[in-house]
Chain A
Amino acid sequence: MSSTIFALSSGTLPSAIAVFRVSGPQSLPVLRQLSRRKIWTPKMMEYTKLYDSERRIIDEAMAVYFPGPKTFTGEDTAEFFLHGSQAVATKFATCLSEIENVREAKRGEFTRRAFHNGKMSISGVRGLDRLIRSRTEKERRAAFGKMRGGVRAVEIRKKLVQILSKLFVIIDFGEHVELQLEEAQRDVSEILQEINRMIAAWNGAERAQRGLNIVLYGRPNSGKSSILNQLAHDDVAIVSSIPGTTRDSLVTSLQINGVLCRLTDTAGIRRLTDDVIEAEGMRRAQQRLECADIIIVVVDPESTSDDVAAILNDVEELKSGESKVIIVKNKTDLKLPYPEVLIDSMKKCHVVSTYATSSNGCEELRNKLGSLVEELCPEANFLLDAELLRKCSDELTCSMLCQDAAIMCSHIETALESIGELTEGIVNENVLDGIFSKFCIGK
């Protein structure tokens, strides 16, 4: 039985509506499962809620079922009209791909199915037409890039083909060349790193969807709340000169470079306290550190070396791997020296100076935050890249563990297909050409 495929059939997101098309024998079951509704009248578009496998609502949407063969592909088809946000679309696509025998369509696969079912005359899928019309190589590449992972995917594909060539040399001509499986595995590990970096970039895009957590952290009365107010242009926190004014964490939202950020002010950290409430506040502050994307450590000239060391130690221990740290030297207007422990940490972190009492003392910090947000959430422009890349990465990881050359090949071929070969047959002659241009083999 052939598998059921799906794709986002509308254009780039965000848009008003995202249209997903599902084609294949599983179309109706898929529709039933996602809508949790049994009865679907053919060709009747209806309102429905869509649920994920844990019965959480994904979106409210319109959906319709077309039984084959009178459909675009000639197979049973379902279409979903969701709200056109990246987050919704990603979530929905993930849910679809989790269903057994359902997978994302390969390039041109709808068209191909339509073709095999004798439906080709109804002209087709967007993007495909652009591909077909493109004349120059550059245009083709560009259109290609739009469809899958961009220029970098093309590069990766090229490198995978090279590895495949190498493997085939090992398999088919092992007696004539001194090449080992380990060498191919070394090459794989290089690509794997690159792909994992790309996945990380995609994670950034996901991060942008959910928003970033920024946490202010420091000893009492170092000026955290003032900085928060400055950044938020708003008197969110009560400010006073009495240390420990902020007893619990305080959250405010702001937009930095178009990304929603939750800025959290925390209770000041003091090593010893008898105050139960203050101790609880400090505990919560430390909790906040764990889920922060950016941590702003605030120090002032009145901090002692021990204070600063303890705070930096907290941050080092509690922060998650990918989070960024900014050290803010507050109250520079006092023109007093800062504890020496800072010098070491300053080399590792981003450092800015502020004088939080004045209204324009935070510009530098604001800019720094902007660039860090940019770093954490780079622009990613295609919906399912991450899925494909993850699949590719899984396959390559498996291939690294193989001692069997044929199985290793098979993993790499699957990885190759997952990042975009329309043809199911391997790029046989290309691979052979690669082999013969680089190696002298044969008896």
Chain B
Amino acid sequence: MLSKSSRLLRRCFQTEVDVIVIGGGHAGCESAAASARCGSKTILVTQNKNTIGEMSCNPSFGGIGKGHLIREVDALDGLCARICDKSAITYQALNRAQGPAVLGLRAQIDRKLYKKHMQNEINSTERLEVVEGEVAELLVKNKKVVGVKMANDTIISTKCVVITTGTFLRAQIYQGMKVWPAGRIGEKSSDILSESFLQHGFELGRLRTGTPPRLMKDSIDFSKFEMVKPDQKPIPFSFLTENIWIKYEDQLPTYLGHTNEETCRIGQENMHENYQVASETTSPRYCPSFESKVLRFPKLQHRLFLEHEGLDSPHIYPQGMSMTFKPEVQKEIFRAIPGLENVEIFQPGYGVQYDFVNPKQLKKTLETQKVEGMFLAGQINGTTGYEEAAAQGVVAGINASARAQNEPAMEVSRTEAYIGVLIDDLTSLGTNEPYRMLTSRAEFRLHLRPDNADIRLTELGRRHNAISDERWSTFSKTRDALNDLTEKTEQMKMSVVKWKRVIPKLSATTRNEGKVLSAFELVHRYDLGKEDLEMGLQDVKVDEKILERLKIEGRYRMEHERMKAKKQEIDRESATEIPDNIDFSKMRGMSLECIEKLERARPRNLAAATRISGITPEAIVVLMRYLKSPAVVRATV
């Protein structure tokens, strides 16, 4: 196939670009914008221009771990945080009580607005062009990407391709006993690309996911649900957002309700008529379908949230109720819930099964190991969620541009960012279920916070040309102000008794009077406000936002010091690679159980091996000994 097309290549080249991004979802938009931002001439190929920026499942962005990712995308000058802040209709951050390290930025987003703003952004991005059509073939020469052939036979030559086709690879939709090919309801799946991957020797796996039905708003009695109000003090996603566009009074609440025995019974009675349930494909544990909730925990009342799909949308999204029963059954189940007795379904829920590319075949730059210039990002790598997709998109876009421009690639380590954790987990261990970001996956959790994402990543992004001048200047100001205030508050030290004389707020404290504290410590220990600190420091103007950041920094500083040594070890073990052809069964002293687990996971480095469930410390010791035995060392040199 390749030799034939290469002759064609020479004849039919029409356009020549640096980077082609296939797919206009969250990964695709971020990739394309990042690549263009970095200075590469970029084309975004989509089946339909109008679906760019589509939020195909939940009408919300963020959550725990996910909010961290959005902030990191923003710190790399990505789009989604800014677009969210233009389209949010309800801000409801999670975990406010659990401390700033695990704060979950979250908001309900108006689908229509998000899509509109995203399309505006894409269309107005310099060096970025959108092309409508279907990619028929990836053109690869000497294991290097050289171009793509479109279904209409035009050929676009390029140095890099970023593939972000989400759940569209050989996708099939499930509803009751019906199964038909489609990526999203009413949209074509891409079967040709799957073939292409197989031809190039990629290993594919299969996953499933689902989406709940959409309900008609005017058929719901909301008074029977518990109202969840928007946050009084909304926290925007982007570091660049000064003010939220929507007033508190105009934001729409969400509603909390519960399933009951009757919903459960109907579910159980109809379980036999459900193809998706019968299939053995792995579904997301983190976002279980109604079916799996009923099967695993039949006695529980499960929570469901009613969320607005948009400011003026007539539809409601019932979060927590994704299901693949046939439409009549779905209606029956919903009508058993108080407040939904007369509910009408606008579009029934359905399941999707799709191919994904085993992400262990990727480098940490998200370029494939097999084909130079081919990058993969988003659900195609086995992840779930808009934010996970966007995060990979930015990294793939920056690196595709770097490859095209012959510049050094950008790697993000797992001790630097959640993005690093995500990519390291995927590339070193792979996944056998849709991968979702969780704070529990990040060893360096106390440092990887939403508040300091810019400090962690913006300079890195700037070194790779991914940061616009506007953001860079805003960031530089923030960074300098934070450093300046940190230095000033650290230098100012005196006993608590003396502090009490200048800061009235402290007068009530009686503990530790003799103790000498710096203003830096004082701020977080006694939760000082702007006025308090200004009284204490004199002559120093304090910015409220900077003070908040300083306070959080102080709160975690002690713990942070302790984690530094740990960081070194994590980095070092991640650097110890396990050769692909290793035979775990040959390791003397390894238990059968561990051999089996290692064999199944085939970790790519030592740190990844320690993260496998059920791997004992002893097995790690055996593995280490083996890796360093003369025979193995000789083989790898």
Contacts and interface: CB of A to CB of B under 8 A. Distances in A.
Interface of A: 2-3, 107-108, 111-112, 115-116, 118, 120-121, 128, 131-135, 137, 140, 144, 168, 170-176, 181, 403-407, 409-410, 414, 420-426, 428-433, 436, 440-443
28 contacts: A112-B621, A112-B624, A115-B625, A116-B572, A120-B625, A120-B629, A121-B630, A135-B591, A168-B439, A170-B98, A171-B102, A172-B64, A176-B320, A405-B99, A407-B556, A409-B445, A410-B446, A421-B617, A423-B620, A424-B610, A425-B607, A425-B610, A429-B611, A432-B438, A436-B285, A440-B297, A441-B288, A442-B320
A366 B519 CA distance: 63
Contacts of B97: 181
A436 B440 CA distance: 13
A442 B210 CA distance: 13
- The residue in A3, A409, A414 that gathers the most chain B C-beta atoms within 10 A of its C-beta is A409
Nearest to A181: B98
B229 to A, nearest CB: 14
A100 to B, nearest CB: 13
A422 B609 CA distance: 12
B566 A132 contact: no
Contacts of B302: 440
Interface string B83-117: 00000000000110111111000000000000000
A2 B568 contact: yes
A171 B98 contact: yes
Interface in B274-296: 284-288, 293, 296
6 cross-chain pairs, A with B, having the tightest CB-CB distances, nearest first? A422-B617, A404-B99, A429-B613, A406-B101, A405-B98, A120-B628
B582 to A, nearest CB: 16
A121 B628 contact: yes
- The residue in A111, A403, A406 that gathers the most chain B C-beta atoms within 10 A of its C-beta is A406
A433 B94 CA distance: 23
A432 B319 CA distance: 22
Nearest to A409: B445
Interface size class of chain B, counting residues whose CB lies under 8 Å from the partner chain: 35 or more
Contacts of B441: 428
A254 to B, nearest CB: 45
A181 B97 CA distance: 10
Contacts of B624: 111-112, 115, 120
B628 to A, nearest CB: 4
A111 B621 CA distance: 8
Contacts of A403: 99
A120 B297 CA distance: 49
A410 B300 contact: no
Contacts of B591: 135, 137, 140
A108 B284 contact: no
Given A440-B296, A440-B302, A431 B440 contact: yes
Contact of A440 (B288, B305, B570, B612): B288
Contacts of B303: 175-176
Nearest to A120: B628
B450 to A, nearest CB: 12
Contacts of A133: 589
A187 B555 CA distance: 25
A399 to B, nearest CB: 12
A410 B559 contact: yes
Contacts of B569: 424
A75 B562 CA distance: 22
A407 B441 CA distance: 15
- The residue in A421, A425, A430, A436 that gathers the most chain B C-beta atoms within 10 A of its C-beta is A425
Contact of B610 (A121, A135, A423): A423
Given A405-B95, A424-B569, A132 B610 contact: no
A171 B64 contact: yes
A286 to B, nearest CB: 36
Contact of A405 (B102, B612, B614): B102
Given A428-B611, A433-B613, 16 more contacts: A111-B625, A115-B624, A120-B628, A171-B440, A174-B64, A176-B303, A406-B439, A407-B446, A410-B445, A422-B621, A424-B569, A425-B570, A430-B613, A436-B285, A441-B288, A442-B287
B531 interface: no
Contacts of B589: 132-134
Interface string B49-93: 000000000100000110000000000000000000000000000
Contacts of A432: 438, 440, 613
- The residue in A171, A173, A409, A432 that gathers the most chain B C-beta atoms within 10 A of its C-beta is A171
A404 to B, nearest CB: 3
Contacts of B58: 443
A107 B288 CA distance: 39
Nearest to A121: B630
Contacts of A121: 628-630
Contacts of B439: 168, 171-172, 406
Contacts of A135: 591
Nearest to B625: A120
Contacts of A131: 618, 621
B443 interface: yes
A426 B629 contact: no
Interface string B287-331: 110000100110010110100000000000001100000000000
B566 to A, nearest CB: 6
A174 B65 CA distance: 12
Given A3-B565, A135-B591, A443-B287, A407 B617 contact: no
B616 interface: yes
Contact of B555 (A404, A414, A421): A404
A107 B622 CA distance: 13
B573 interface: yes
A439 to B, nearest CB: 9
A176 B304 CA distance: 9
Contact of A404 (B98, B562, B617): B98
Contact of A407 (B288, B320, B559, B618): B559
Contact of A175 (B94, B610, B616): B94
Nearest to A115: B624
Nearest to B556: A407
A423 B576 CA distance: 14
A174 B102 CA distance: 11
A442 B624 CA distance: 37
B297 A425 contact: no
Contacts of A172: 64-65, 438-440
A21 B587 CA distance: 28
Nearest to B559: A410
A140 B570 contact: no
B568 A132 contact: no
A107 B620 CA distance: 11
Interface in B409-448: 438-441, 443, 445-446
A442 B286 contact: yes
B295 to A, nearest CB: 11
B101 A429 contact: no
A82 B386 CA distance: 62
Contacts of B610: 423-425
Contacts of B621: 108, 111-112, 128, 131-132, 422
Given A171-B98, A172-B64, A440-B296, A406 B440 contact: no
Contact of A132 (B95, B320, B618, B628): B618
Nearest to B286: A442
Given A115-B624, A121-B629, A443 B565 contact: no
Nearest to B576: A116
Contact of A174 (B94, B293, B576): B94
Interface string B386-400: 000000000000000
Contact of B618 (A3, A140, A173, A414): A140
A406 B562 contact: no
Nearest to A124: B625
Contacts of B614: 429-430
A205 B628 CA distance: 41
B98 A443 contact: no
A426 B101 contact: no
Contacts of B445: 406, 409-410
